[in-house]
Amino acid sequence: MSNKPYLTAPPPITTMPPGIPFIVVNEAAERFSFYGMKSILAVFMTKHLVDQYGRPAPMTEEQANYWIHSFVTATYFFPIFGAIVSDWLLGKYRTILSVSLLYCVGHAVLALMGLQLGIEPKTLLWWGLALIAVGAGGIKPCVSAHVGDQFGETNQHLISRVFAWFYFSINLGAATSTVLTPLLLKYCGPHWAFGVPGIFMGLATLVFWLGRYRFVHVPPAGRRFFSETFSRDGVRAIVNLIPLYLFVAMFWALFDQTASAWVHQAEKMNRWVTLPSGKAIELLPSQIQAANPILILLLIPTFSYAIYPLMNRFFEVTPLRKIGIGLFLTVPAFALPGLLQMRIDAGHRPHIYWQVAAYVIMTMAEVLVSITALEFSYTQAPRRMKSFVMGLFLLSVSLGNFFTAEINHFIETQRRQGREFLAGADYYWFFTAAMFLTACGFVIFAQFYRGRTYLQGAESEQPVPVPE
């Protein structure tokens, strides 16, 4: 045997880490459960909700919007705590498994609303959504980081392929459940419509537990978490990013209304479509939301391989410029439903294809704003606080939904007092104007942003490029 040292590095490993299939299947099932449950909330609250005696007790559209956006507010508020618990005390695996059990209990509580148990269904709704918010929120900052933990120097070249499958599983679960769950609500009732997503969450938890001996487990940092997270560089990164998240929050205030206001609008539209076979079917209002995850799968490669290269011919496509363009694109994405609402207010029934067109524009904005802001946040965070910064980014979703929830609560309060506020199309024009002003403010902010890029392996102290 030769005693000569290796002059070249050993060949990279070409096999996937053994824990990856468990994570991908877990994520697909978990997203099926979450988006399936979320997709039917607007219709359930306004059409199917009863009191403890089985008598109809539906909410108004504004009340339902308030509940939905309050739920999303809580769901994206808890990731910051999930990140802290994971990195400080439990580690990612134990955190994900622990909150997944709460997640399952939340789905079970929602499923009980379809049965006559003598308990006020609205009480069960509140507790079920609260438990799911804690579960889904606690998982969010840990799962993607757990994927990255499975890779080392010998197989890091496979990570982009895995994240592609990971993102595909998210949107596959979301699209499938958004099509199927409304059918369960219509034909089988609330207990099955909420119960089946709960079964999928149970399967997601089981699959994740089965992979416990296949995962790479990174131990929590313990006391070092606080000293490393709140170092000088860490605090500077947080201070730089918070204004960005405030601007992005308005995007989420509009985007997440696809699960509330846009569903209510779809109920008043012509939803008959003709299949390639020639058969005509009427889509359910909640099913239109499936357009978003399907479009995401189509638009991500379109932007990566066609639109961004084309834009680069005319100007440098920096992350901040992408976000700015996306914020301005959100304006027509919400203005189009505003025009549709004007037609509806005048007694017409515009075709649902027009709302699908709004979904196309909104999903393009999502690619530009959400994905870019997430990646940008990762690069701006020092190495030891990337999960924490991911949690901060998700707080922008929480803040945007809190704003929408409070607007709907104010509208409902005014209505009870006999005053109309933001009625009909005015509701859409209000958010459209707010988005336009936010986008203009972001352009000014971007000129003054100065940050530092931190990548795994080397930390650069050079300022991030800023749009001219």
pLDDT-based confidence at 467, cuts 50/70/90?
A: very low
Report how far residue 269's alpha carbon sits from residue 262's, in angstroms, rounded to the nearest whole number: 11
CB 389 within 8 A of CB 376: no
Which residues, 6 or more positions from 92, have their beta carbon under 8 angstroms from its beta carbon?
86, 142, 143, 145, 146, 149, 217, 218
Query: pLDDT tens digits, residue range 295-322?
Result: 988 898 888 889 988 998 998 888 899 9
pTM: 0.86
Report how far residue 285's alpha carbon sits from residue 274's, in angstroms, rounded to the nearest whole number: 16
Q: What angle do CA 123, 127, 132 make, to 5 degrees?
A: 145
pLDDT at 238 over 60: yes
Neighbours of 293 (CB within 10 A): 22
Furthest-apart CA pair in the chain: how many Å? 92
CB 303 within 8 A of CB 367: yes
CB 100 within 8 A of CB 61: no
Task: Report the range of poorest mean pLDDT among 213-217, 414-418, 441-445, 460-464.
Answer: 460-464
pLDDT for position 5: 43
**Residues paired with 272 in a beta bridge:** 282
pLDDT for position 126: 95
Mean pLDDT value of segment 25-29: 86
Question: Spelled out in words, what is the top-level CATH class assigned to the domain 231-468?
Answer: mainly alpha
CB 329 within 8 A of CB 399: no
Report how far residue 241's alpha carbon sits from residue 389's, in angstroms, rounded to the nearest whole number: 9
Both tokens of residue 53? Answer: 């005696």
Parallel/antiparallel/unpaired status of strands 272-274 and 452-455: unpaired
CA distance readout (Å), 437 to 14, 425, 448: 49, 19, 18
DSSP three-state, residue 463? strand
Query: pLDDT tens digits, residue range 311-369?
Result: 989 988 888 999 999 999 999 999 999 999 999 999 999 999 999 999 999 999 998 99
Q: Where are the domains of the chain?
A: 16-220, 231-468
Query: pLDDT tens digits, residue range 73-132?
Result: 999 999 888 888 887 888 888 888 999 999 999 999 999 986 777 788 899 999 999 999
Report how far residue 243's alpha carbon sits from residue 241's, in angstroms, rounded to the nearest whole number: 6
CA distance readout (Å), 266 to 34, 284, 328, 435, 445: 21, 8, 24, 22, 36
DSSP three-state, residue 453? strand
Side-chain half-sphere of 427: how many Cα atoms within 13 Å?
28
DSSP string, 239-286: HHHHHHHHHHHHHHHHHGGGGTHHHHHHHTSB-EEE-TTS-EEEPPGG
CB 103 within 8 A of CB 150: no
pLDDT for position 462: 44
Protein fold of 16-220: Growth Hormone; Chain: A; (1.20.1250)
**What is the per-residue burial (b if ≥16 Cβ within 10 Å, else e) of 70-102?**
bbbbbbbbbbbbbbbbbbbebbbbbbbebbbeb
Q: Taking all residues of the chain, what is their mean pLDDT, rounded to a whole number?
A: 85
CB 400 within 8 A of CB 77: no
DSSP three-state, residue 461? strand
